[in-house]
Structure 1
């Protein structure tokens, strides 16, 4: 009886879930024509989130540092430029999100690129201005160039190919370096995920069939080239605190999966795949670094 009860209960849950999924699937289906309520909701939501985030940064982050007149900061030699790859990645992904949400509202392709894909560039530019008025940081032209590059990578592919053949992705591993300077590199997984440059890898993931049009390879197969570094304990201006650090670059070559090219009629799955396509799928990986030479990882994330 217990098995039958569980079976029936499971069936009811599945039936209820399918009904809910059907409604959600309809909701997530992009509009064929301009849907003004959706568009207006997106504009209001994005503007509100951006405003709240910037106010929060100003009060919770920048308030802890001395204010200054607007100044510039040349930090291009810091962190083996891994922080700059982070700016490229953020600008690209925020732009992709902005364009995709406007596509869901049925906004024209021209306006998706004009107003949606520039979402990341606009937001990150505001953050750079905040940095400019902080005595601790300063406006970085290197960061701005990285922000522009991320947006240009998205827009350029849409104009050239009408699709994203090259995706920017991210992966992370915990390292031994964060514990040596937790105030800068993070204390605990959540902080390290964002702050520990030693554990961050940024990837350019190339979709094979979008370039070569093969019949024997799956459409979702990608080849990814990654960049990272280790031995990083501080920025160049704080080197006196860690005089013996010996940072080195890491280069990777790996397989990857473009989740957005997996065929499905479910807009729920398409939405989930789109979100998780920001993350590099763990795969066998060949690494080369300036300290140990070549190294094969059976699975690298």
Structure 2
């Protein structure tokens, strides 16, 4: 069944309110985002970890010191093949981005010179109305949030995992920008580079401040553009809405209320028609449901982040906006 974005807007406009409060339905979720959180559960089996996912703490508590002529392994030491594990995680991530780029960004090949372009930010006359800048910010943010638990499960400490995730993500996407500078279709964009750094920084801030992480999420809502035949969550900017979400469950007084703790307030931005058609930029405000809290209360007796599977599912809910949202849209043009 196919949905037309504008037709759906008209239906909800007539049914609910002239302000066009709409209930959005996301048809497809990028498999990359679905698989990465599951890898955390798999990694917990491959690299045993405690409930916090910190391999080295388990070793410190359980492993005796072993000293031989050839090795000196002390309690709490990381696995001897930790560097290999880290290289594998980084290599797989870089390969996925490179393969996608070769198929979608750099098909026309490369020129002989390095070119730059001042693309602007969120102006109506920019190429994508700023949705591409939020896309860069989000991609780096998501990279840090997804890679951190993988590095932890591989045996790194908490701080080291966050640092590895941030520098790996920023390094990969900076390399993409440099390659863009030599490609025929694109140019190096300072705005993209700044958005990359801002996204990685946001990921680090939330990873290192758990209390703030319980309050704030940054999510993407993707639904394929009506005029686009392919599924392309990275490049189909006219199908993306980026949402900053504040969760009632993150505030202790609101958490005590059985109903209120399930609600979230969302502010968002998206563009439509920049692929072809009438261009417009939209701001969004509305309410959504905290699916992580619902899952915890419904399946885990109220416990949050209690198992590897639950932690992976929670991370998916933190990054991708599912259909449980109703909001008002206001055009900025």
Same fold (TM over 0.5): yes
Q: Does 1:52 align with 2:73?
A: no
Unaligned runs of 5+ in 1: 1-21, 179-185, 235-241, 293-301
1:146 aligns with 2:195: yes
Note if 1:75 corresponds to 2:119: yes
The number of residue pairs the alignment matches comes to: 252
**Structure 2, unaligned stretches of length 5 or more?**
1-40, 59-76, 121-125, 297-302
User: Paired residue for 1:229, among 260, 265, 271?
Assistant: 271
C-alpha offsets along residues 93-141 of structure 1, whole Å, 9 cap, x if unaligned? 1011221112223422321222223332111111000011123211111
Does 1:249 pair with 2:292?
no
CA RMSD in angstroms comes to 3.2
Q: CA deviation at 1:223?
A: 2.2
Distance 1:221 1:38, change over 3 A: farther
Q: Secondary structure at the match of 1:251?
A: strand
Of 196, 200, 207, 2:240 maps to 200
Pairing 1:272–2:313 present: yes
Higher helix share: 1
Q: 1:53 to 1:67 in 2, by over 3 A?
A: farther
1:163 positional shift: 5.3
TM-score, length-scaled by structure 1: 0.71
Q: Which residue of 2 aligns with 1:174?
A: 224
TM-score of the two chains, using structure 2 as the length reference: 0.65
Q: Name 2:144's counterpart in structure 1.
A: 95
Helix, strand or coil for the counterpart of 2:134? helix
Instruction: Report if the CA contact (8 A) 2:78-2:155 is conserved.
Output: yes
User: Equivalent residue for 2:300?
Assistant: none
Quote how far apart the aligned CAs of 1:289 are.
Answer: 1.9
Q: RCO higher in 1 or 2 (8 Å CA, sep ≥ 6)?
A: 2
CA separation of 1:173/1:163 partners in 2, compared to 1, >3 Å: closer, same or farther? same
| Counterpart residue number, 1:109 | 158
